[in-house]
Amino acid sequence: MAPRSTTKDKILDVAEGLFAEHGFNDTSLRTITSKANVNLASVNYHFGDKKTLVRAVLNRYLEAFMPALQDALVNLNLNETYSMSDVFESLRQPLRALNDVRPNGTSRFMLLIGRGYTDVQGHLRWFITTRYSEVLTLFTSSVMKANPNLTQEQLFWRLHFTLGTCVFTMASSQALIEIAENDYDRKIDAKAVVDILIPFLAAGMSAKE
């Protein structure tokens, strides 16, 4: 017999779906509790407030993604030199594995990350950069090793342009696949989308001014 979902899990599942569909700002705790069929006291007991709930929803993915990314980057840095494409290739399997965390987990994670920026969730950025600072530092240092000519300002802008591209592409991957198949009569899957995406991201990070 499958284990029964706990109240905490139920709140997280419902909140995740609503946050992905409507955004963080436009989803109230009342809406979450109503759909989850729990009372507000349950949310307060398990999470304390909405900001903590937002972080908990993202952290279900982050606690799987960040250690896997760290392992991939550590292995990458065993090489004396590597390309920008190699850096982004390190993201592939950790992102793909998020589908094992939740159904359609990769797309859902990227959509939620995007919501964090469009809904100006500064506390979420603080949470991620504080809790996972070691992994993020390793990633940025790997980018700089692949392109040592980048200034810190260029790094800032290009990483955010990269993030925006990834969020749109991965969150909309199914729609893009269907459009591409219809327009070009070519069967394509999520792996093929990433195969196309990585050289594009690498070229952007490596571009000369």
How far is Cα 168 from Cα 107, in angstroms, rounded to an integer? 9
pLDDT digits (tens, 9 = 90+) for 51-70: 999 999 999 999 999 999 99
Identify the pLDDT of residue 5. Answer: 61
For the cut 60, the answer to whether the pLDDT of residue 4 exceeds it is no
Containing 170, the helix (H) or strand (E) segment is helix 152-171
Q: What is the average per-residue pLDDT within 9-16?
A: 95
Identify the pLDDT of residue 1. Answer: 37
pTM for this predicted structure: 0.88
pLDDT digits (tens, 9 = 90+) for 107-135: 899 889 988 888 877 888 899 999 999 99
Identify the pLDDT of residue 159. Answer: 94
CA terminus-to-terminus distance, the chain? 60
Containing 166, the helix (H) or strand (E) segment is helix 152-171
Identify the pLDDT of residue 115. Answer: 87
How far is Cα 116 from Cα 112, in angstroms, rounded to an integer? 6
Whole-number percent of the chain with pLDDT over 90: 73
How far is Cα 103 from Cα 109, in angstroms, rounded to an integer? 11
Whole-number percent of the chain with pLDDT over 70: 97
**Residue 147 CB coordination number (10 Å):** 18
Identify the pLDDT of residue 188. Answer: 86
Asked if 87 and 146 touch (Cβ cutoff 8 Å), the reply is yes
For the cut 70, the answer to whether the pLDDT of residue 197 exceeds it is yes
Identify the pLDDT of residue 117. Answer: 83
Burial code (b: 16+ CB inside 10 Å, e: under 16) for 48-66 equals eeeeebbbbbbbbbbebbb
Phi and psi for 109 in degrees, rounded to 5? -60, -50
For the cut 50, the answer to whether the pLDDT of residue 3 exceeds it is no
**In terms of Cα–Cα distance, which of 45, 62, 141 is closest to 97?**
62
pLDDT digits (tens, 9 = 90+) for 69-109: 999 999 999 999 999 999 999 999 999 999 999 988 988 99
Every domain of the chain and the residues it spans = 60-206
For the cut 70, the answer to whether the pLDDT of residue 138 exceeds it is yes
Identify the pLDDT of residue 70. Answer: 98
Q: What is the average per-residue pLDDT within 164-191?
A: 89
How far is Cα 176 from Cα 169, in angstroms, rounded to an integer? 8
60-206, CATH topology level: Tetracycline Repressor; domain 2 (1.10.357)
Q: What is the mean pLDDT of the chain?
A: 91
